[in-house]
A and B are shown apart, each in its own frame.
Chain A
């Protein structure tokens, strides 16, 4: 069932630059378990879209199957949504994007939906650098079928039922960097301060933006031994730095004591400013990005924040050299070569 949110709001809530209040980015009431990390991520999505002043109806939200894939019902009520089949969101997103390059595509998936059944579709959407924001709500388990390990569960981690995961885990961020995603980040559902600017940057980046958000499953995978629990992540994570996202033509005053500020200018001339703790790692260098991930992993630490950015990458439309006009807006006059040409084609077959 979908439950509608009460519509009462404080009358003086300020609208954003596009004239929308935050309410107009919200969705139905969540039916996930109380305390689920996914709900925090939904709120961060709402906040990011509101702050970017995107027109809600120009966003397309897509998902696969699973707890995470239910969430598009809980944000952006004014956007068309497509809850596809298990693991197949990327291909639907590819087709939708090919049909209309002018909309914003936001895909939400889970670790089962992406790292297992949908692995093929995920890696190939990344390879073709589809212009979309792809968020994985990563809780290391299958929630809807009551807690089986997923492929991102860390080897050796212990579930609530007591079993130890004997298999290697898949690091989706590392894969995304290897396969050519232009923007790769990792965050934690409980860290709104980091997550909101990451989502904003991911939405502004042209090409595939991937954000892996660790999102504890409060019902099946939030015991202290789980590496996807609130407790564990809070104690074992380290950020690449503090992130600001500066949309084009807006200025903000950074109030950080910058030991090192790395600024990356995106396609639309928005900026990502990374106030780094460590000046050593260049997030625009693919090899350094992967090394940094592995180094932290070896120390038992989850690295969060912007992991890699390549603002120069070509998205699928640029690779295919498609018309700048949305393909779904073309008419007979644009598409049908007409009878004379058909007669020429006939003649060539005589």
Chain B
């Protein structure tokens, strides 16, 4: 019978019941692969539910370092009765079906291209564990032990991970390690040489870390000097605030007083959350909030105020599936237009587009510098996949010489030294940005009135059309300044440049690179540009203009980034071809290969068929 065979190159899916403690067992497996020196990518696919609904956890093991979602799964640990059929039917041909054989499989499970691995998980755990409440948790550990045997993994790595996990409570480590051994022994005894998927020790990890984007963003805010947080709970952004609070509780405590160098205010709603950020930033603190699309909708009123009154504001949008409440625990990149133009009137806001935890860290820290330099809201566009899943990537780094750029703020001495009349919105150096003052700085100078109504250069209320036009034109000039300050795109081009290009950003990045690499290996070179910010620096349009056709790959239905590119670059729409994946799951490289193939076929370009690759039997 056909069996998938691969070393350090496959996808395993765990099908569990939400709230059964499975995520930590599954994570234990992923961490063990990582510690064996193999790049790994775990993804939690979970419901909007606390307990009882189906949940999946996908782990991609990939020696070559492809850590985007691949699509499909080669082995499934099917321990959720509700989804048994679905998990069985979805398995790749030649795949492995690991199930709890304490109950027989239904008779109509008749695939002849699947290897069954029945392990009586319930019986084994009931025999070995007296404590009834511990059984469900240890059953999860037991199948991890079985996997270790099937994949020929070193059990010591897993046992060691468990010891680390229970460092503070070593008593708990022992029953876990015991369960691991029972599962291992059973699989080894009953299924020797059954599974042709293997995990072998390797050296492809280097100094990489495995971290979720929300933790990284929280650390970016910590290192970036945020002192005020206004927030309202919403999946998938809540864990940013939780992580920030945890680290602040460690690294922002005054040694002598025990007081905190941070104020984290849980607001009554997202309106107030962003109001707190704007009030604090206006008063000279670095402040931020984190939310998701539904929260952004509520924040748009205040974002317009911050744009027009020119108050620095840092917002992290961890995007999820919309519209409306949508699928709150699934991922998408669908808030681009809503964020780029949040609020009524002519408004636009810089967006930063991190693609991995390292960039979540860097760009969140950068967002404070940019917001204060530009005196405007800056939105970091993460998403659920990037924010909540662990990602394999480079370690975080902080340049010790780095100083916060607080932008144009006049202190008492500089106010004292002024020889001309100061105006809050007076652009004296042609970058569209005035200098601001903070309340309480000087008894007589630098006072001004901040308002969302139309104002002149001296912040006085005005309904004079000329003054209004001057303000709007200056804000447009400031937008051009922003274009020069935001992170540059990353371009990979062949020489001479390919006729074809692909543009993508954020969490789409690893799958997009992988898909394009595969097409490249098959003889079709497509140059790539990874966007890192909006507004688009000039090289973005240069890249597009030098190519006949450019694909824009993104995770929303309407090709929102393509729309932004067309409108900002005044481009002919037919030059940009939309490739979208928006089913709520992280975009899969296999899907992208197919989508690109058919988009090219429609234009008369055919590519040689795929050579047998990962996870496939020759």
Could you tell me if B264 and A328 are in contact, using CB atoms closer than 8 angstroms? no
In A80-111, the 8 Å CB interface with B consists of: 80-85, 88, 90-100, 102-103
A85 contacts which chain B residues (CB < 8 A)?
Answer: 301-302, 305, 452
Q: Which of A2, A60, A88, A342 contacts B223 (CB 8 A)?
A: A342
Cα separation A323 to B443 with both chains bound (whole Å): 25
Chain B 276-296: CB-based contact to A (< 8 A → 1; otherwise 0)? 111111111101000000000
Could you tell me if A349 and B210 are in contact, using CB atoms closer than 8 angstroms? yes
Cα separation A332 to B227 with both chains bound (whole Å): 11
Q: How far is the CB of B455 from chain A (nearest CB, A)?
A: 10
A82 contacts which chain B residues (CB < 8 A)?
Answer: 279, 282, 449-451
Which residue of the partner chain A has the closest CB to B304? A85
Among B15-23, B179-187, B253-261, B474-482, the stretch in contact with A: B253-261
In B187-237, the 8 Å CB interface with A consists of: 207-211, 215, 219, 222-223, 225, 227-228, 230
Cα separation A315 to B413 with both chains bound (whole Å): 33
In the complex, B113 has a CB within 8 A of chain A: no
B109 contacts which chain A residues (CB < 8 A)?
Answer: none
A72 contacts which chain B residues (CB < 8 A)?
Answer: 449
Could you tell me if B259 and A321 are in contact, using CB atoms closer than 8 angstroms? yes
Given A99-B279, A327-B228, is A124 in contact with B267 using a C-beta cutoff of 8 Å?
Answer: yes
A97 contacts which chain B residues (CB < 8 A)?
Answer: 279
Could you tell me if B283 and A60 are in contact, using CB atoms closer than 8 angstroms? yes
Q: How far is the CB of B416 from chain A (nearest CB, A)?
A: 13
B462 contacts which chain A residues (CB < 8 A)?
Answer: 1
Tell me how many residues of A have a C-beta within 8 Å of chain B.
62
Given A91-B267, A346-B209, is A328 in contact with B227 using a C-beta cutoff of 8 Å?
Answer: yes
In the complex, B438 has a CB within 8 A of chain A: yes
Could you tell me if B397 and A342 are in contact, using CB atoms closer than 8 angstroms? yes
Could you tell me if B450 and A2 are in contact, using CB atoms closer than 8 angstroms? no
In the complex, A337 has a CB within 8 A of chain B: yes
Chain A 301-342: CB-based contact to B (< 8 A → 1; otherwise 0)? 000000000000000110011111001101110111111011
In the complex, B444 has a CB within 8 A of chain A: yes
Could you tell me if A335 and B225 are in contact, using CB atoms closer than 8 angstroms? yes
Could you tell me if B272 and A96 are in contact, using CB atoms closer than 8 angstroms? no
Q: How far is the CB of B562 from chain A (nearest CB, A)?
A: 33
B397 contacts which chain A residues (CB < 8 A)?
Answer: 339, 342
Chain B 386-423: CB-based contact to A (< 8 A → 1; otherwise 0)? 00000000011110100110000000000000000000
Cα separation A94 to B247 with both chains bound (whole Å): 23
Cα separation A346 to B282 with both chains bound (whole Å): 34
In A183-237, the 8 Å CB interface with B consists of: none
B340 contacts which chain A residues (CB < 8 A)?
Answer: none
Cα separation A296 to B301 with both chains bound (whole Å): 40
Cα separation A82 to B116 with both chains bound (whole Å): 68
In the complex, A175 has a CB within 8 A of chain B: no
In the complex, A10 has a CB within 8 A of chain B: no
Could you tell me if A321 and B265 are in contact, using CB atoms closer than 8 angstroms? no
Cα separation A320 to B260 with both chains bound (whole Å): 8
In the complex, A254 has a CB within 8 A of chain B: no
Cα separation A345 to B148 with both chains bound (whole Å): 28
Could you tell me if A323 and B282 are in contact, using CB atoms closer than 8 angstroms? no
In the complex, A120 has a CB within 8 A of chain B: yes
In the complex, B460 has a CB within 8 A of chain A: yes
Among the interface residues B261, B276, B302, B462, which one has the most CB atoms of the partner chain A within 10 A? B276
Could you tell me if B398 and A334 are in contact, using CB atoms closer than 8 angstroms? no
In the complex, A267 has a CB within 8 A of chain B: no
Given A99-B228, A323-B261, A327-B262, is A345 in contact with B396 using a C-beta cutoff of 8 Å?
Answer: yes
Which residue of the partner chain B has the closest CB to A65? B452
Q: Which of B252, B254, B262, B276 contacts A91 (CB 8 A)?
A: B276
Cα separation A201 to B451 with both chains bound (whole Å): 29
A335 contacts which chain B residues (CB < 8 A)?
Answer: 222, 225, 227, 252, 261
In the complex, A150 has a CB within 8 A of chain B: no
In the complex, A32 has a CB within 8 A of chain B: no
Could you tell me if B271 and A88 are in contact, using CB atoms closer than 8 angstroms? yes
Cα separation A220 to B317 with both chains bound (whole Å): 44
Given A83-B450, A342-B398, A350-B209, is A100 in contact with B440 using a C-beta cutoff of 8 Å?
Answer: yes
* A-B contact list, 11 entries, CB within 8 Å: A72-B449, A79-B447, A90-B275, A322-B261, A323-B257, A324-B257, A327-B262, A327-B285, A328-B284, A338-B398, A350-B35
> Nearest 7 A-B pairs (CB), nearest first?
A95-B279, A91-B275, A99-B285, A328-B284, A95-B280, A80-B439, A92-B279
Binding site for B on A (CB under 8 A): 1-2, 55-58, 60, 72-73, 77-85, 88, 90-100, 102-103, 120-121, 123-124, 128, 316-317, 320-324, 327-328, 330-332, 334-339, 341-343, 345-346, 349-350
Beyond A94-B276, A322-B261, A324-B259: 11 further Cβ-contacts under 8 Å? A2-B461, A60-B440, A100-B285, A102-B440, A103-B283, A121-B271, A320-B260, A321-B259, A327-B280, A336-B225, A342-B219
Binding site for A on B (CB under 8 A): 34-35, 207-211, 215, 219, 222-223, 225, 227-228, 230, 247, 251-252, 254, 257-265, 267-269, 271-285, 287, 301-302, 305, 395-398, 400, 403-404, 437-444, 447-453, 460-463
